[in-house]
Amino acid sequence: MNDFKTQVRQDPYASHLGICFDRMEQGFAECSLTIKENMLNFLGLVHGGLVFSLADAAFSAASNHDHTPSYALDISGSFLRSARPGDTVRAEAVLVHSTRRTALYRMTVMNGNDLMATFNGTVIRMGSDKKPEAVEHGQTGVWTEPLTGMVFVSVPGGSFLMGDASGEGLENERPVHEVALCAFHMSKTPVTRKQWAAVMGEDSIGDNGKPDDPVTYVTFSDAESFISILNERSDGTRFSLPTEAQWEYAARSAGKNQLYAGSGDAKQVAWTGENSDGHLHAVALKKANELGLYDMSGNVWEWCLDAFDDEAYENHEPRNPLIMGEKGRDRVARGGSWLMDAWSARCTRRFSFPEDVSGNGLGFRLVMTRDAA
């Protein structure tokens, strides 16, 4: 343990900043930094990069014993408070859960009793970086991710009129405007509890649910952590949340004029508050849309990559639009849920949640792109 402490304490960048390591052991580390005048920006706020570096130092120390070839560090919270010269800011990294392949750490940065930021750190362990081979199906454009068994279907590129053309929606679903998208793959269903556990570990989900239920109680940042691990494990593929435009285009069977995802009748394709009997349902029990995608309408709201903007449709780029936003902004959610009425399950319905919100009606699905051979 003494060699370990010496190794971490002599990190040149940590030493340059004056970071002190107060406690270090396998799966846990705590470090601190006294804020100086030159660590503030022109607004008198602590530089975000400095807070990140403090969290990264704690993460590196806590995960040192994993001897990893690589790791991913994802910001999972906004910078909530600042500090003044003379304040001592502390960062703590704790191992949250661990599998043979991965370890997830949670970092918090505090100034006294005030929370400044939170982060997630994902370790990909040595010996687990062998890439399993994906499975190509006989059906054209269908692909299976090998770690989770998640099936992706091809969504052809094309143009469509995005937004509410029926007149049933809200003002933020207009104006109807033309959008062009490149081709992509999308998972046939929302991510299930079984697929989540294959990546994040069995102990990362509770006991209240079935393997083929959509995973719920997942924040935006939790979904991003899941994706980060998949991307580390993949060879020639990249996963992400869908953009809002990708989601609507896919839900409408490549941009067709469909009220719900695959039908004009919600009962055929969606679990809503009108037919769910008051509970979540396993995926793929209702009719798929014309692309072979299930549960795009109803069952669970699905996170999208875009930051929510009421006036997004006034500002969309004509090709592959994405509304970017800083951490902490509300994120788009689409599709409705088993708790909501059928009107909320319309393909054009726009909704949003804060990034740190989770619940039993909120999940996600993935899109995938593949490198050219």
φ/ψ of 210, rounded to 5, equals -105, 155
CA angle 239, 121, 59 (to 5 degrees): 155
**Which one, of 228, 227, 232, 226, lies nearest residue 205 by Cα?**
226
Q: How many CB atoms lie within 10 A of CB 142?
A: 16
Range(s) within the chain of domains with CATH label 3.10.129.10: 2-124
Cα 58 off chain centre by: 23
Q: At 233, is the secondary structure helix, strand, or coil? A: helix
pLDDT tens track of the chain, all 373 residues?
Answer: 333 333 333 344 444 567 787 777 778 888 888 887 777 665 556 666 667 777 777 777 777 644 443 444 444 444 455 677 888 888 888 887 777 666 777 788 888 888 877 777 776 654 444 444 444 444 447 889 999 999 999 999 999 999 999 899 999 999 999 999 999 999 999 999 999 999 998 767 766 789 999 999 999 999 999 999 999 888 778 999 999 999 999 999 999 999 999 999 999 999 999 999 999 999 999 999 999 999 999 999 999 999 999 999 999 999 999 998 777 789 999 999 999 999 999 999 999 999 999 999 999 999 998 654 4
φ/ψ of 193, rounded to 5, equals -60, -40
Between CA 97 and CA 320 the distance in angstroms is 36
Question: DSSP assignment, residue 367?
Answer: E
Q: Number of helices (H) and strands (E), helices first, in the chain? A: 8, 18
Partners of 179 in beta bridges: 160
What letter represents residue 153's amino acid? Answer: V
CA angle 25, 31, 33 (to 5 degrees): 170
Are 80 and 113 spatial neighbours (Cβ–Cβ below 8 Å)?
A: no
Looking at residue 175, its pLDDT comes to: 96
Looking at residue 97, its pLDDT comes to: 73
Partners of 181 in beta bridges: 158
φ/ψ of 121, rounded to 5, equals -130, 130
Place of tokens 């600042």: 82
Are 305 and 241 spatial neighbours (Cβ–Cβ below 8 Å)?
A: yes
Looking at residue 216, its pLDDT comes to: 96
Tell which CATH classification among 2.60.40.10, 3.90.1580.10, 3.40.109.10, 3.40.50.1110 matches the domain 135-370: 3.90.1580.10
Q: Where are the beta strands (DSSP E) in the chain?
A: 20-25, 28-34, 70-75, 88-98, 102-111, 114-124, 135-136, 142-144, 151-155, 158-162, 177-181, 184-187, 237-240, 301-307, 331-334, 351-353, 362-363, 367-370
Q: At 3, is the secondary structure helix, strand, or coil? A: helix
- Between strands 142-144 and 151-155, the pairing is antiparallel
The tokens describing 102, both together, are 């991965």
Looking at residue 127, its pLDDT comes to: 47
**Which one, of 127, 121, 125, lies nearest residue 62 by Cα?**
121
Superfamily of domain 2-124: Hotdog Thioesterase (3.10.129.10)
Could you tell me what percentage of the chain is helix, strand and coil, using 3-state DSSP and rounding each to the nearest 5?
20, 30, 50
Are 174 and 163 spatial neighbours (Cβ–Cβ below 8 Å)?
A: yes
Are 342 and 196 spatial neighbours (Cβ–Cβ below 8 Å)?
A: no
Looking at residue 150, its pLDDT comes to: 95
